[in-house]
Structure 1
Amino acid sequence: MPGGADHRGIRPGVHSADAFAPAAFGRGWPGPVNLDAWVADHFDELVRFRRHVHAHPDLSNHEQPTAGLVAERLRAAGLQPVMLPKGNGLSCDVGSGEHLVALRADLDALPLPDVKDVPYRSTVEGVCHACGHDVHTTVVLGAGLALASLGDALPGRVRLLFQPAEEALPSGSLDIINAGRMAGVQEIFAIHCDPRTLAGQVGLRVGAITAAADFVKVDLSGPGGHTARPHLTVDLVGALARVVSEVPALLSRRVDVRSALSLVWGAVHSGVAPNAIPQTGTVLGSVRCLDHAAWELAPKLIEQLVHQVVAPTGASAVVEYTRGMPPVVNHPHSAGILTQAAVSALGEESVVDTQQSMGGEDYSWYLEHCWGAMARLGVGRPGEALDLHQGSFDVDEKAIGYGVKLLAEAALIALHERVV
């Protein structure tokens, strides 16, 4: 099978996974209209929906307009969405029965200006969908509507989860979980846009596919003084410089290199005058880690290293460590279903290998509750070199149809194997 998958749809080289291989699914799309035809009939509508969301982005924790738009479309299809208490996210069950799988999307945009010259350019100054959440939302909506068209032929329930605040801490997946929307879910699937993979391809792997992502803040303080007499006070800026340069270097020597535990500073603040030693200073950074065990050790280890580095300077240090999310670890069974769904819906050539990235994704919190996997949905165009979290980011909109087919087929396979 192209892309390196074996006959069961399990990625090789990480797990043998014999016990988790999904059952063969050869029944085809069980509705009166096949999946290809459904997507073709609704493709223009889905593109319009995505463009509207793209043009009207909402920042994290303020997604009420987008959530309301999704709910309106679901109600028009005869479904009954349930809003989160703040109205900035929702869930919606499609079908009925005891067997329940979920599809997840995220609604929020980023505080970045949209620099594209397109008709659907963001109308909100300084805010744009630079990570593809508009596509994620459209794909899960489309997959849900396609599955709803099956009526009684759908062998169970599919819960559509539209979460807020993927780009913020605390993350919006916890809002979904704390609202009880994961209750009864047996398996969950999601996509993430990948501009480095061409539209029509799906990147899959078993095991960790993202990194853990946390934030750290270090506040230093001292008595302050004149730069002509640093020996009479604490050279606070010098102490900050030691934290910035030495803590990441020491950290790399305290964990296995394969864990790739990385601390990178993003902001330093201190002082206002060239001849005055300040009394306070702050440095902010992010922690990334490929390994769950090293991620568990990171808060205590980083705090120890900060105090170790600062002690000789005479400054006082306070470390504030904010947990973000663990790595997304694709379960072999769920990754197998996504692989099988990609082959079934898009063709064998659609499946490509993908690597674990240092990016963080709060989808990982769902995987603390049930099996699941995330696929990288190719959205790239030939010859383009766009990347995520850039104001120029855009997608090949054919990827919307491919994503709908992938997730609808995955949900159907997962439900079918539970009832046979």
Structure 2
Amino acid sequence: MSAQLQHHPRDASSVITELVDKYADELSELRRDLHAHPELSWAETRTCDQVVGHLDGTGWVVRRLDGGGVIADLGTGEGLVALRADLDALPVDDLTQDPWASTVPGVAHACGHDVHTAALVGAGLALAEVERAGLLSGRVRLLFQPAEEVMPGGALHVMGAGGLDDVDHIYGLHCDPTLDVGQVGLRVGPLTGAADALSVRLSGSGGHTSRPHLTEDLTFALGKVITELPAILSRRLDPRAGVSVVWGRVRAGSAHNVIPGTGEVAGTVRMLDAVAWADAERTIRSLVGHIIAPYGVTAEITYQRGVPPVVNGPQQTKVLATAVESVLGVPGHVPTTQSLGGEDFGWYLDRVPGAMGRLGTRTPGGPTFDLHQGNLRIDERATAIGARVLAEAAVVSLTA
């Protein structure tokens, strides 16, 4: 897509509004297309094709990354602000039955990344016209990132490809189905939690359930890990860190009267605090050893550090607030709370200051959906709103 306006509006905000309004239907169609053709982490080839196809010829210098992802640069002069969208879908079934429902069995955009991608394309189109009109006072970089839904996340891949080189600030939006369309939730400081993956595999001599004293009762020991590790952690790590261990998978045995020789429990470790995150793995490994010691079993612990918390900078949150209020008015800027959800945008904020906002996607008066569920629906007006907010954030950041 490309377009030349018939006249130059007075300011960058006017250009952004006119361009996004002009392409609102096309951006909606792009979002539907991405939704119908979702791709899992590290396999976002067609999605990248769509991004490149829409930005080519509009003034952006576009570069595809080996391994997945797209980086696009625009403008000259001092100051470089980055805008980020994630590309990948989830391994869940699409339950919506919409005309644009997923055509890929077992894969769906159940976290709104199709909205993120289409919105950033829209912001890019608007910013290209801002630059043509001579109203862009600096440089903008678009980061279309693969693999946000896996640990430790595709942000590290983009950073390794130079995505943050020379970047001064970075901004992003994430769909929030608990907020009405036309609202963006903002918060200074921690917005999400750190998230790690943990599995504990126990091994021992199994046997008959009538003779547990002659075995290493692995199933009982596994139960102790399941119940005691979360409880003990609450006394070993600062309670203000909000540490949460939740198990998602338990596997042991195949018969009611046989004590198995192996068993596994796996889940996530989440917390609100980066200091506790730094110490969590060492503490958990030590505690598991103490918990299983009385039972004679051995443990193989796999601990995968995932993502750090997203911590919004105060100045960058103010920039996002200014952008939101420019697009939606003061009522569009609403407070939000920290969650324990993981988001690899935190890796970027470890390197440069920035902020993420929560983009409302609920139709006012309509049902509240949940992320990572196959029935997720978004109010399609959110795509154009996201495009305008991101473009405005870039302009405001470069002139602040």
TM-score (norm 1): 0.90
Question: Could you tell me which residue of structure 2 aligns to residue 162 of structure 1?
Answer: 144
Query: How far has the Cα of 1:336 moved from its partner?
Result: 0.6
1:60 paired with 2:41, answer yes
Query: How far has the Cα of 1:34 moved from its partner?
Result: 2.9
Task: Please give the secondary structure, in 1, of the residue aligned with 2:137.
Answer: coil
Instruction: Give the Cα separation in 2 of the matches to 1:186 and 1:29.
Output: 27
Q: Which is worse superposed, 397-406 or 101-110?
A: 397-406
Instruction: Give the Cα separation in 1 of the matches to 2:13 and 2:87.
Output: 32
User: Do 2:233 and 2:243's aligned partners in 1 also have CA atoms closer than 8 Å?
Assistant: yes
Question: Could you tell me which residue of structure 2 aligns to residue 291 of structure 1?
Answer: 273
Task: Summarize the Cα distance change of 1:105–1:134 in structure 2 as closer, same or farther, 3 Å threshold.
Answer: same
Please give the residue correspondences for 1:87-126 in structure 2 after superposition, counting only pairs within 5 Å: 88-126=68-106
Query: How far has the Cα of 1:180 moved from its partner?
Result: 1.2
Unaligned runs of 5+ in 1: 1-27
Task: Summarize the Cα distance change of 1:32–1:286 in structure 2 as closer, same or farther, 3 Å threshold.
Answer: closer
Deviations 1:128-152 (A, max 9, x none): 0000000000111111110001223
Instruction: Give the Cα separation in 2 of the matches to 1:340 and 1:248.
Output: 41
1:186 paired with 2:165, answer no
Query: How far has the Cα of 1:97 moved from its partner?
Result: 2.2
Instruction: Give the Cα separation in 1 of the matches to 2:83 and 2:13.
Output: 23
Aligned match for 1:413, one of 376, 391, 396: 396
Aligned match for 1:261, one of 232, 243, 246: 243
Please give the residue correspondences for 1:338-349 in structure 2 after superposition, counting only pairs within 5 Å: 338-349=320-331
Instruction: Give the Cα separation in 2 of the matches to 1:322 and 1:303.
Output: 12
Task: Summarize the Cα distance change of 1:89–1:408 in structure 2 as closer, same or farther, 3 Å threshold.
Answer: same
Question: Could you tell me which residue of structure 2 aligns to residue 245 of structure 1?
Answer: 227
Q: Which amino acid aligns with 1:399?
A: A
Task: Summarize the Cα distance change of 1:29–1:290 in structure 2 as closer, same or farther, 3 Å threshold.
Answer: farther
Task: Please give the secondary structure, in 2, of the residue aligned with 1:253.
Answer: helix
Query: How far has the Cα of 1:80 moved from its partner?
Result: 2.6
Task: Please give the secondary structure, in 2, of the residue aligned with 1:34.
Answer: helix
Q: Which amino acid aligns with 1:100?
A: L
Task: Please give the secondary structure, in 2, of the residue aligned with 1:153.
Answer: coil
User: Do 1:39 and 1:401's aligned partners in 2 also have CA atoms closer than 8 Å?
Assistant: yes
Runs of 4+ in 1 over 4 A off after TM superposition: none
1:215 paired with 2:194, answer no
CA RMSD of aligned residues (A): 1.3
Aligned length: 389
Question: Could you tell me which residue of structure 1 aligns to residue 344 of structure 2?
Answer: 362
Query: How far has the Cα of 1:181 moved from its partner?
Result: 1.4
Question: Could you tell me which residue of structure 2 aligns to residue 47 of structure 1?
Answer: 28
Instruction: Give the Cα separation in 1 of the matches to 2:14 and 2:380.
Output: 23
User: Do 1:327 and 1:364's aligned partners in 2 also have CA atoms closer than 8 Å?
Assistant: yes
User: Do 2:195 and 2:341's aligned partners in 1 also have CA atoms closer than 8 Å?
Assistant: yes
Instruction: Give the Cα separation in 1 of the matches to 2:160 and 2:60.
Output: 23
Task: Please give the secondary structure, in 2, of the residue aligned with 1:71.
Answer: helix
1:388 paired with 2:371, answer yes
Task: Summarize the Cα distance change of 1:91–1:379 in structure 2 as closer, same or farther, 3 Å threshold.
Answer: same
User: Do 1:218 and 1:319's aligned partners in 2 also have CA atoms closer than 8 Å?
Assistant: yes
Deviations 1:209-230 (A, max 9, x none): 0000001111111122222211
Question: Could you tell me which residue of structure 2 aligns to residue 306 of structure 1?
Answer: 288
Task: Please give the secondary structure, in 2, of the residue aligned with 1:327.
Answer: coil
User: Do 1:210 and 1:327's aligned partners in 2 also have CA atoms closer than 8 Å?
Assistant: yes
Deviations 1:68-120 (A, max 9, x none): 1101111142433101112x211000222231100000000000100112111
User: Do 1:205 and 1:354's aligned partners in 2 also have CA atoms closer than 8 Å?
Assistant: yes
Q: Which amino acid aligns with 1:255?
A: L
Query: How far has the Cα of 1:29 moved from its partner?
Result: 6.4
Task: Please give the secondary structure, in 2, of the residue aligned with 1:46.
Answer: helix
Task: Please give the secondary structure, in 1, of the residue aligned with 2:72.
Answer: strand
Query: How far has the Cα of 1:248 moved from its partner?
Result: 0.7
User: Do 1:47 and 1:400's aligned partners in 2 also have CA atoms closer than 8 Å?
Assistant: yes
Query: How far has the Cα of 1:256 moved from its partner?
Result: 2.6
Q: Percent identity?
A: 50
User: Do 1:55 and 1:121's aligned partners in 2 also have CA atoms closer than 8 Å?
Assistant: yes
Task: Please give the secondary structure, in 1, of the residue aligned with 2:51.
Answer: helix
User: Do 2:48 and 2:69's aligned partners in 1 also have CA atoms closer than 8 Å?
Assistant: yes
1:140 paired with 2:123, answer no
Question: Could you tell me which residue of structure 2 aligns to residue 224 of structure 1?
Answer: 206
Instruction: Give the Cα separation in 1 of the matches to 2:97 and 2:257.
Output: 47
Aligned match for 2:16, one of 35, 41, 46: 35
Task: Summarize the Cα distance change of 1:322–1:183 in structure 2 as closer, same or farther, 3 Å threshold.
Answer: same
User: Do 2:12 and 2:395's aligned partners in 1 also have CA atoms closer than 8 Å?
Assistant: no
Question: Could you tell me which residue of structure 2 aligns to residue 5 of structure 1?
Answer: none
Task: Summarize the Cα distance change of 1:274–1:215 in structure 2 as closer, same or farther, 3 Å threshold.
Answer: same
User: Do 2:191 and 2:311's aligned partners in 1 also have CA atoms closer than 8 Å?
Assistant: yes
Please give the residue correspondences for 1:327-338 in structure 2 after superposition, counting only pairs within 5 Å: 327-338=309-320
Question: Could you tell me which residue of structure 2 aligns to residue 70 of structure 1?
Answer: 51
Please give the residue correspondences for 1:311-326 in structure 2 after superposition, counting only pairs within 5 Å: 311-326=293-308
Task: Summarize the Cα distance change of 1:154–1:314 in structure 2 as closer, same or farther, 3 Å threshold.
Answer: same
Query: How far has the Cα of 1:32 moved from its partner?
Result: 10
